[in-house]
Amino acid sequence: MPLPSKIRDRCRRYLGTDERIQYLIPGTSISVDNMAMQVGFLVMVTDRHVTILACSRWWVNRPKQIWVRLPRSTELGPLEIHPSLGPVLSVGGIDLEIDEEYVPAVRAANREITTDALPEDPFPGG
């Protein structure tokens, strides 16, 4: 289920001029810089950046600050599916537990930046 528009609106204040949100992936940290810490984060993928937003400790979908801003060419991952935790996404020094429904969004965001994402033309030279 996509995040409500209210959460997307809260994230828009962290956008640059003419930047738009392509993917918004919520997660709860398992570790931050190799320290066990449980905090809510939002991975905001735009047409220009991958921005990790730190949320309030008590309100997991309320961004409070930019944790890190990375170039859009940054690949999200690795993405590992753990039997007990479920999907774990590592990005920007944070290991995030995410819901299974956001795995396709992670894969789609990564596919957009790879140059060989499209299959070869079956009818070349036309």
**Tens digits of residue pLDDT in 57-111:** 777 789 999 999 999 999 999 999 988 888 999 999 899 999 999 999 999 999 9
Residue 116 has pLDDT above 60, yes or no: no
Whole-prediction pTM: 0.85
Domain boundaries, the chain: 5-113
How far is the CA of 3 from the CAs of 9, 44, 101, in angstroms?
Answer: 11, 12, 11
Q: Which CATH class is domain 5-113?
A: mainly beta
Comparing CA positions, the residue from 40, 111, 116, 36 lying closest to residue 79 is 111
